[in-house]
Structure 1
Amino acid sequence: MRTRSLYTRQNEGFTIVELLIVIVVIAILAAITIVAYTGIRDRAVVSSLASTLSQTTRKVEAYAVEHSGALPSTLADAGVDAVTASEAVYQAYNTTTPGAYCLQLTQSEKTYFVTRKNQTATEGFCDGMVAWWPLNNDIQDVMGNGGGTEIGTLSQSNGADGQTNGAYYFNGSSKITMQPEWGAAYSFNQISGSAWVRLAESGGYYGVLWSPGMPIHWELRTNNLWRARISGTNPVDMTPGPAVGDWTHVVFSYNRAVPSFTFYINGQSMYTSSGDSGTNTFFTTSGGNPGDIGAALNSGRYWVGDLDDVRIFNRALTAAEVAQLYNLGAK
């Protein structure tokens, strides 16, 4: 009788509970495999992008050596293969000495770029970027256009991404002044500014970024509300106001041809207007000063707090690009 019972049990197969357990285990193993595969694939894509960027950069630099420092107008001029040349975004500026460039590549929906002064492949885009101050250990523009001179005393601080010495603290009487006339080489029919900011106090006017000389001037500043002005138009106050002690990503995007002006906070559009036709000239010397980071209009409007990853583009960024900048975080 006992032998018959055992035989019957052996031929009954799995119970529903046992089958469910097997299915769950298979699903878990599949998920682990997919995650592992995705991670391996992504690392391979990034490695490939970094390698191609490095090889292309070497050819651009070799061309410059052979042509008395002049950068190639196109990647094809530097002998870069046709496929890479057609897929890359390459911008060269021979208006400064030495010249500046940025190089951007996309593969499998991942985009990385390098600049002449920052040849480590960095996630994100540089299309239209004419100046970039990462503010990591120094105050120089790594695009090579805007320069950077310390006025007053700045102190290093942790960046918006937590990086040690990845930002600078502005004490209310300090700023970074840009290189004279660097903006004269560009038409700013479109312009965008981006910065990560952390305010240390409230109740005053605190300038983030500006180009002096009304009406050739724009700024990001705060007076308990976000305030923006461009081309001499009346300033616009926007909510929500900045939270003291919190890192915030702020961006404006301006298209003179439309005209349109959009202000973003933490990747979200907070204000849009029809703007005015304004000017297309910025960052040229006015009163001996081409532009500042950490100040606006006068000495009573210095920034008090930390600034990180300041960028200037000579095109109007799209909402998707602003969201990408925010999601990638400070560099």
Structure 2
Amino acid sequence: MVIHSFNRIGRITLRGGLFLTLLAALWLSLAQGVTAGNSTAVSWWPAEGNANDINDGNNGSLLGGTTFVPGKVGQAFHFDGVDDYVHVPDSANLNPGYSDFTVDFWMRTTYTGTSTYEKFLDLVGKRDICTYSSFWNIRLTGDGTIWTEVDNGPPPDWFASLGSTHVNDGEWHQIAFVRAGTMVTLYIDGNVEVAYSTDSRALGSALNIANGTPLRFGYGPCVGDDPVHNGYFVGDLDEIEYFSQALTQAEIQAIIGGGGPTDTPTNTPTSTPTNTPTATALPTVIPTNRDCIRFDFFPDGSPVSDGTVITTQYASLGAVFSSNGGGAIATIGADEASSLPNFLIGNPDSFQPIVADIVDPATGLPASVDSVNVTLISVGDAVVTANAFASDYTTILSSVSVTHPGTGDGFQNKDPISLSAPGIARVTIEITTFVPEDGFGIDDLCLPFVITPAPTAASTPTPTNTPTNTPTDTPTPTPTDTATATPTNTPTATATPTNTPTSTPTDTPTATPTPTPAEATQGLIELVGNLGLPQGDENSLIAPLRRVASLLNDNNPDNDRAACGKLTAFINQVNAKERNGSLTAAQAAQLRQSAAAIKTDLRCA
């Protein structure tokens, strides 16, 4: 992981130029048809033996020995990862400024780095320098996911996101980057990968990302600034297009040619809930000293996104963090021995509390603990306060504040504190006395005792009426009279029919088919879609479910573990949206229960 040097909180001197933000994402495979471009594109570089723009004349130059290979359509640019790239001179109609725009292209690569963070390869971008400025770019990470940035200066005007779909499988993938007003959306193969707002100042306007920099394919300025952590793209690009408007998802899917699958399932059986008693969950013991949230999983230099899910070093605890739109900046130390705190927060304008809700790792449902340890770092005159809340999320059970006035660059001012009280369900950490450019850090957030799942009302099973077998009376045979023999006219005996009892059929109840986990997931997607939520909230809830459906439809048992993780991500999203009021308590409970049932069927740990 790249370490940044700091001269004061909020002022970052970059060594590596790497910024990463973790956002929830979704993935769903699509048919790979394609249409060759769109006549409404301002520019279109089809890569047919040259770098010419066949729509508007924004022709590029092949540099470093860029070659061509069979592409998605016709030929494609091939980059060797050493010095190949395409240079397109700056043009007014390639400079969006405040306006909407879309960039889409096809890519194919098998590149894999040593980690997500090392190293980044540039795909397509219009960026001048490897630090804050005015630009946009699209990059490939070391683990084959897609990273996007939109910037108009230092935070809160710098935004970035990291997808979760791995596109380094050697297959063609369509990438679309859309800026529509204050919203930026990344699509992969026609599906929403990530979407985020760039309106940190609540001005209601887009960022101005105009610059005089060339448009480049396969290269960016961070390659020269830090070649250890940034590189030339290795792989193929085809059918690169630039639009002066924000394309819709349907338009992007039309470019792909096959269109995306609908959210309406075909012949999906309706799930009939079974009144199965809910087992009382036993307390989950968290091993001492192996129970801390390790913030070095959280990416360097990233905005703290509302509802971001933080996973832990030992996967023993889940937490959902929120900056409530405060535009905070996270900076991570390399390890526990680092002189930097694991998680450093600063904002020159304002700051809202960081929120960590305790959840049961087995179910994702709300839970509580009896003690929370955290190391706080106060910088300058800021007063940093940690609060522990009860399960009503309003009653403060314990509170501790720290400050180190006049210390300036006081990252070393570490204060280990403990919040102790039965039933802690939420922890908040905030600046209660705010000083511009001062801030705080968190070195560890640890739960040394037992996680107690919140009580869940057990369903009372409805007794099933088992038919009672009523004994059938067997008639007593009637003796047949034997005729007295006479010498003449012996009568032929007429057989008396024996009454054989007719068996009464027993009504056997018809078993209701139990939906498979894949079918139950599709039903849960429908349930979310029927809640009438705003599009952004609906998309963020459906995203992990679509990934679950995709994993389960592959019929590969090895996918079950990944599906369990996505279901946990869904439950964490539900918890976050219940907390911010997007979901009612009843809606959230219904969604959690449905997801937990699928996890049970999958035997998630």
Unpaired stretches in structure 1, ≥5 consecutive residues: 1-121
Query: Is the alpha carbon distance of 1:312 and 1:328 closer, same or farther for their aligned partners in structure 2, counting shifts above 3 Å?
Result: farther
Task: State the distance in 2 between where 1:126 and 1:145 align.
Answer: 14
Q: Residue by residue, what CA displacement relative to the aligned partner does 1:28-63 show, whole Å, maximum 9, x if unpaired?
A: xxxxxxxxxxxxxxxxxxxxxxxxxxxxxxxxxxxx
Are 2:119 and 1:194 equivalent residues in the alignment? Answer: no
**RMSD (Å), alpha carbons:** 2.3
Q: Is the 8 A contact 2:36 2:239 kept in 1?
A: no
- 2:53 is matched with which residue? 141
Task: State the distance in 1 between where 2:146 and 2:195 align.
Answer: 13
Task: State the distance in 1 between where 2:212 and 2:37 align.
Answer: 31
Q: Is the 8 A contact 1:195 1:249 kept in 2?
A: yes
Q: Residue by residue, what CA displacement relative to the aligned partner does 1:132-161 show, whole Å, maximum 9, x if unpaired?
A: 101112111112342201221111100014
- 2:43 is matched with which residue? 131
- 2:238 is matched with which residue? 308
Q: Is the 8 A contact 1:188 1:315 kept in 2?
A: no
1:231 alignment partner, SS class: strand
Task: State the distance in 1 between where 2:65 and 2:37 align.
Answer: 31
Task: State the distance in 2 between where 1:184 and 1:168 align.
Answer: 20
Q: Residue by residue, what CA displacement relative to the aligned partner does 1:167-222 show, whole Å, maximum 9, x if unpaired?
A: 01111111111123444776551011101001132113111111113532111111
1:147 alignment partner, SS class: coil
1:209 alignment partner, SS class: strand
Which residue among 239, 256, 263 is the counterpart of 1:326?
256
Q: Residue by residue, what CA displacement relative to the aligned partner does 1:66-109 show, whole Å, maximum 9, x if unpaired?
A: xxxxxxxxxxxxxxxxxxxxxxxxxxxxxxxxxxxxxxxxxxxx
Q: Is the 8 A contact 1:160 1:247 kept in 2?
A: yes
Are 2:178 and 1:245 equivalent residues in the alignment? Answer: no
Larger radius of gyration: 2
- 1:263 is matched with which residue? 186
Task: State the distance in 1 between where 2:51 and 2:112 align.
Answer: 25
- 1:231 is matched with which residue? 151
Task: State the distance in 1 between where 2:162 and 2:64 align.
Answer: 29
Query: Is the alpha carbon distance of 1:184 and 1:265 closer, same or farther for their aligned partners in structure 2, counting shifts above 3 Å?
Result: closer
Task: State the distance in 2 between where 1:279 and 1:151 align.
Answer: 31
Shift of 1:317: 0.6
State the TM-score, normalized to the length of structure 1.
0.55
Shift of 1:253: 0.8
Task: State the distance in 2 between where 1:281 and 1:314 align.
Answer: 14
Query: Residues 1-331 of structure 1 correspond to what in structure 2 (within 5 A)?
Result: 125-127=38-40, 129-161=41-73, 163=74, 166-172=75-81, 173-183=83-93, 189-203=99-113, 204-213=119-128, 214-223=132-141, 224=143, 225-232=145-152, 233-256=158-181, 259-276=182-199, 277-282=205-210, 284-286=211-213, 290-299=214-223, 300-327=230-257
Q: Residue by residue, what CA displacement relative to the aligned partner does 1:106-146 show, whole Å, maximum 9, x if unpaired?
A: xxxxxxxxxxxxxxxx876333x221101112111112342
Query: Is the alpha carbon distance of 1:240 and 1:183 closer, same or farther for their aligned partners in structure 2, counting shifts above 3 Å?
Result: same
Query: Is the alpha carbon distance of 1:325 and 1:184 closer, same or farther for their aligned partners in structure 2, counting shifts above 3 Å?
Result: closer
Unpaired stretches in structure 2, ≥5 consecutive residues: 1-34, 114-118, 153-157, 200-204, 224-229, 260-605
Q: Is the 8 A contact 2:186 2:194 kept in 1?
A: yes
- 2:576 is matched with which residue? none
Query: Is the alpha carbon distance of 1:184 and 1:324 closer, same or farther for their aligned partners in structure 2, counting shifts above 3 Å?
Result: closer
Q: Percent identity?
A: 22
Q: Is the 8 A contact 2:110 2:168 kept in 1?
A: no
Task: State the distance in 1 between where 2:94 and 2:77 align.
Answer: 27
Q: Is the 8 A contact 1:184 1:281 kept in 2?
A: no
1:306 alignment partner, SS class: strand
Shift of 1:285: 2.4
Query: Is the alpha carbon distance of 1:182 and 1:151 closer, same or farther for their aligned partners in structure 2, counting shifts above 3 Å?
Result: farther
Task: State the distance in 2 between where 1:296 and 1:185 align.
Answer: 17
Q: Is the 8 A contact 2:99 2:206 kept in 1?
A: no
Q: Is the 8 A contact 1:146 1:179 kept in 2?
A: yes
Task: State the distance in 1 between where 2:79 and 2:139 align.
Answer: 14
Q: Which amino acid aligns with 1:293?
A: F
Task: State the distance in 1 between where 2:231 and 2:101 align.
Answer: 23
Count of aligned residue pairs for this structure pair: 198
2:195 alignment partner, SS class: strand
- 1:19 is matched with which residue? none
Task: State the distance in 2 between where 1:255 and 1:139 align.
Answer: 28
Q: Is the 8 A contact 1:130 1:145 kept in 2?
A: no
Query: Is the alpha carbon distance of 1:197 and 1:123 closer, same or farther for their aligned partners in structure 2, counting shifts above 3 Å?
Result: closer
Shift of 1:275: 2.4
Query: Is the alpha carbon distance of 1:221 and 1:123 closer, same or farther for their aligned partners in structure 2, counting shifts above 3 Å?
Result: closer
Query: Is the alpha carbon distance of 1:170 and 1:216 closer, same or farther for their aligned partners in structure 2, counting shifts above 3 Å?
Result: same
Q: Which amino acid aligns with 1:215?
A: S
1:320 alignment partner, SS class: helix
Task: State the distance in 2 between where 1:239 and 1:265 align.
Answer: 10
Task: State the distance in 2 between where 1:143 and 1:244 align.
Answer: 31
Shift of 1:255: 1.5
Shift of 1:328: 6.2
Query: Is the alpha carbon distance of 1:124 and 1:149 closer, same or farther for their aligned partners in structure 2, counting shifts above 3 Å?
Result: closer
Query: Is the alpha carbon distance of 1:279 and 1:154 closer, same or farther for their aligned partners in structure 2, counting shifts above 3 Å?
Result: same
Task: State the distance in 2 between where 1:314 and 1:144 align.
Answer: 12
Query: Is the alpha carbon distance of 1:188 and 1:308 closer, same or farther for their aligned partners in structure 2, counting shifts above 3 Å?
Result: farther
Task: State the distance in 1 between where 2:95 and 2:179 align.
Answer: 19
Q: Which amino acid aligns with 1:323?
A: Q
Query: Is the alpha carbon distance of 1:123 and 1:180 closer, same or farther for their aligned partners in structure 2, counting shifts above 3 Å?
Result: closer
Q: Is the 8 A contact 1:145 1:179 kept in 2?
A: no
Query: Is the alpha carbon distance of 1:328 and 1:141 closer, same or farther for their aligned partners in structure 2, counting shifts above 3 Å?
Result: farther
Task: State the distance in 1 between where 2:52 and 2:66 align.
Answer: 13
